[in-house]
């Protein structure tokens, strides 16, 4: 899932303070799971903002809606008949939702209320860790299911660097060395021969760093 974290209330106030009528828009998907932008967070943020502006004696009206998804035309259409009532939308969706919204409703400013961080997993409540950088050419089959692209600080594809010490990454002692994890896992799977093989040269043109990508599926019809 996409993992995001809440922006500070001061940053949010700075981005919305010049508007009078604001739609605070949550999303029921990833940002709900990572407790950054779901219905609950919309309610808490709306109350905090109302309180702040009341104390400032500034009249700001905030409405709250949480859509099923903000990255889908179908759900964004649900606010079409009321979007013109607002001076701005404060979106708690990930950056995809914010942009989709901005594409769709050209005359309404949309500002983000969260920082989109990475593709990750929920380790436990309150802890999410990065697991994938959407490189577009998955190599997990040869690395024991552990991703060196997202979990090795140097994105090394053929074993650890010289800085790996006692299973920890040289970038931070708090981080496991991804390659140590890969070797341990391959050992456990009795697949250490995968480690001996030189990885194919990776085609980084399919990585998201090469510019925006599209996935077109002809087997999926409109
Ligand atoms: S190899 Fe690429 S697609 Fe596979 S998990 Fe890692 S970053 Fe994601
Ligand atoms: S110590 Fe391990 S995880 Fe850290 S950069 Fe080197 S190989 Fe990658």
How do residues 71-128 score in pLDDT, each as one tens digit? 999 999 999 999 999 999 999 999 999 999 999 999 999 999 999 999 999 999 999 9
Report the chain's terminal Cα–Cα distance, integer Å.
Answer: 24
Our answer on whether the CB atom of 199 is closer than 6 Å to any ligand 1 atom is: no
Q: How far is the CA of 157 from the centre of ligand 1 (A)?
A: 11
Which tokens hold the place of 194?
A: 């995968």
Question: In degrees, to the nearest 5, what angle opens at C-alpha 110 toward C-alphas 102 and 36?
Answer: 110
Instruction: Give tens-digit pLDDT for 148-188.
Output: 999 999 999 999 999 999 999 999 999 999 999 999 999 99
For residue 165 and ligand 2, the question of a CB distance below 6 A is answered with: no
Reduced 3-state DSSP string for the chain: CEEEEECCHHHHHHHHCCCCEEEEEEECCHHHHCCCCCHHHHHHHHHHHHHHHHHCCCCCEEEEEEECCCCCHHHHHHHCCCHHHCCEEEECCCHHHHHHHHHHCCCCCEEECEEEEEEEEEEECCEEEEEECCCCCCCHHHCCCCCHHHHCCCCCCCCCCCCCECCECCCCCCCECHHHHHHHHHHHCCCHHHHHCCCCCCCHHHCHHHCCCCCCCCCCCC
Q: Is pLDDT above 80 for 28?
A: yes
171 lines ligand 2 (CB under 6 A): yes
Query: 150 in ligand 1 pocket by Cβ < 6 Å?
Result: yes
Distance 206 CA to ligand 1 centre (A): 11
Nearest CA owner, ligand 1 atom 8: 132
149 lines ligand 1 (CB under 6 A): yes
> Do residues 25 and 90 make contact, with C-beta atoms less than 8 angstroms apart?
yes
Q: Is the CB of 96 under 6 A from ligand 1?
A: no
Residues 118, 130: Cα–Cα separation, whole Å: 6
Tokens of 64: 């709250």
pLDDT score at 210: 64
Ligand 2: residue whose CA is nearest its atom 6: 161
């Amino acid at each position: 899932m996409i993992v995001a974290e809440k922006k500070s209330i001061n940053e949010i106030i700075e981005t919305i303070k010049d508007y009078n009528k604001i739609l605070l828009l949550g999303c029921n998907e990833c940002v709900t799971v990572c407790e950054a932008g779901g219905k609950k967070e919309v309610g808490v943020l709306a109350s905090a903002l109302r309180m702040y502006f009341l104390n400032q004696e500034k009249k700001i009206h905030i409405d709250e809606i949480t859509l099923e998804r903000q990255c889908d035309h179908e759900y964004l259409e649900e606010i079409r008949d009321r979007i013109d009532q607002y001076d701005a939308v404060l979106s708690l969706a990930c950056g995809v939702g914010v942009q989709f919204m901005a594409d769709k409703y050209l005359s309404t400013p949309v500002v983000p209320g969260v920082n989109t961080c990475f593709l990750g997993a929920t380790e436990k409540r309150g802890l999410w860790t990065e697991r994938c950088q959407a490189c577009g050419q998955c190599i997990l089959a040869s690395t024991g299911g552990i991703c060196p692209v997202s979990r090795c600080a140097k994105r090394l594809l053929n074993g650890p660097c010289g800085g790996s010490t006692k299973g920890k990454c040289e970038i931070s002692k708090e981080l496991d060395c991804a390659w140590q994890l890969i070797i341990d896992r391959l050992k456990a799977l009795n697949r250490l021969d995968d480690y001996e093989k030189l990885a194919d040269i990776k085609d980084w043109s399919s990585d998201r760093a090469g510019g925006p990508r599209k996935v077109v599926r002809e087997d999926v019809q409109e």
